[in-house]
Amino acid sequence: MKTCSKTAAQVITRAYPSCALLRRHLEPNLSKLRDLESFCSKHGLQLNASSSSELNQSLERIRHELKDDSVFFDVLMNYATKPMQLATFFCSGDVIDNGKDWGHYALAVPLYTHFTSLLRRYADIVVHRTLAATLEAEVMLDLNEKKLAKRCFTGLRFNKEEVESFDAQKALAYAAMKYVVPGTDVLADVAAYCNAGLLVVWLLQVLKKLGVK
């Protein structure tokens, strides 16, 4: 599931760099993380919080060390959640990527999205639409035998200049219209309402503006 969602995020960001719906998890609050390290040290426990993977490994090791004291481990895990920030949806065109702001700290990946739960998340539907548009544009370019690399969006080789060519942008624009891929402004609103748990409210507002009762 993680690999699938990570790959979907990479593909849609290649094709639609300004309107990809992604999910990020920012790095923990450093001050609170230091407090957690001090708390562990005070109780004779070693905690390495230099990265998310090291932190997870440390907590797993501590879990084994405290296997006979589940109550204290529960206290520790509650303490460990305090430095963590909430994961949120965002529109790629709405957040400048400085190498950190797009990544998912807990999963230790540079790009991530929700992709596998169509029945319970609208965000996944948006991602599927964007991915479908990307695949259609790719097929169109392959069938037209343009001088672009095969699988220019989904292949291992990625050439940004090719993707920004007139033919590629024309195919992407057509596919985006066909699959109703939201633009940057609309997608930013979708992300905000998803994060607030108010997506239904937003959808009702949109329908009202369109005159749908």
Q: Is residue 126 part of a domain?
A: yes
- Look at residue 180 in the predicted model and tell me its pLDDT: 93
CA 26 to chain centre: 11
- The 8-class DSSP code of residue 179 comes to T
Number of domain units in the chain: 2
One domain for residues 123 and 63: no
Q: Is residue 34 part of a domain?
A: yes
Confidence band of 96 (pLDDT split at 50, 70, 90): confident
One domain for residues 151 and 180: yes
Spell out a b/e string for 73-97, using b for 16 or more CB atoms within 10 Å of the CB, else e.
Answer: beebeeebeebbeebbbbbbbeeee
Give percent helix, percent strand, percent coil of the chain, each to the nearest 5: 55, 5, 40
One domain for residues 35 and 10: no
Question: Is the pLDDT reported for residue 99 higher than 70?
Answer: no
One domain for residues 138 and 203: yes
Q: What is the domain range of residue 63? A: 30-81
One domain for residues 125 and 196: yes
Q: Is residue 19 part of a domain?
A: no
Q: What is the pTM of this model?
A: 0.83
One domain for residues 121 and 196: yes
pLDDT in tens, 167-197: 899 999 999 999 999 999 999 988 988 888 7
- Look at residue 83 in the predicted model and tell me its pLDDT: 92
Return the structure tokens found at 57.
């490994």
| CA nearest neighbour of 158 among 13, 4, 1, 5 | 13
- Look at residue 147 in the predicted model and tell me its pLDDT: 56
One domain for residues 162 and 120: yes
Mean pLDDT of 5-10: 94
Question: Is the pLDDT reported for residue 149 higher than 60?
Answer: no
One domain for residues 140 and 183: yes
Mean pLDDT of 132-154: 79
Q: Is residue 106 part of a domain?
A: no
Mean pLDDT of 192-208: 71
One domain for residues 172 and 139: yes
